[in-house]
Amino acid sequence: MQVHPSLPPLHHLPKSLPLDGAVRIELESGVPIFRASTNVQARIVMLLEKQQLEALTESEEQELDAYEEIDDYLSFVNRTIRNLAVAPNSQSSGLGADLYSPVALLDDEGVIALAQLKLDAGQNERLGDLQGKGKAQGLTQSERYELMMLMQSYRLGLLRKSEALAEAKVRGLTPNLAP
């Protein structure tokens, strides 16, 4: 099975990770959020506390690294879900339904809205944060994938905006566009 290019691949799971009950789902503002179960969190805390007192064994180090990879993955999934949950409700998000409709089929109001498209303020801020962190200290694997997804959203938005601007000009709608 091939992993979608925007999802970071997980290479292995910790042997101690229970296959049942490892992840719990919580609702935050109506959006499902995936979190490590209480048992998994307790195991991570135990490993971190032990690491403060003494060196972990090689297998414990690998286990802790694998938990960190899973945490990065869950963080990425949760951010993606939040972005998708927010996007349909915002015309400025860069991910609305009009981004996928042929521009010529949109009504004048839809063309104008698409021509004025901007990346959501939260996404734009996150994009800047990731770019700054990447330059300063580097990014984790999940942050690199998140940055890639935000850049794809930004590029798609620019492409669709240019298509809408061209369509607006053809329809004579350009006086209706704010600078």
Q: Which residues contact 19 (CB under 8 A, 6 or more apart)?
A: none
CA–CA gap between residue 65 and residue 53 (Å, rounded): 18
CA–CA gap between residue 82 and residue 123 (Å, rounded): 11
Q: What percent of the chain has pLDDT over 90?
A: 15
What is the tens place of the pLDDT at every residue in 67-86? 888 887 888 888 877 776 65
The CB density around residue 63, as the number of other CB atoms within 10 Å, is 20
CB 79 within 8 A of CB 28: no
- Helix or strand or coil: residue 25? strand
What is the tens place of the pLDDT at every residue in 83-120? 766 554 444 434 344 556 688 888 898 888 888 888 77
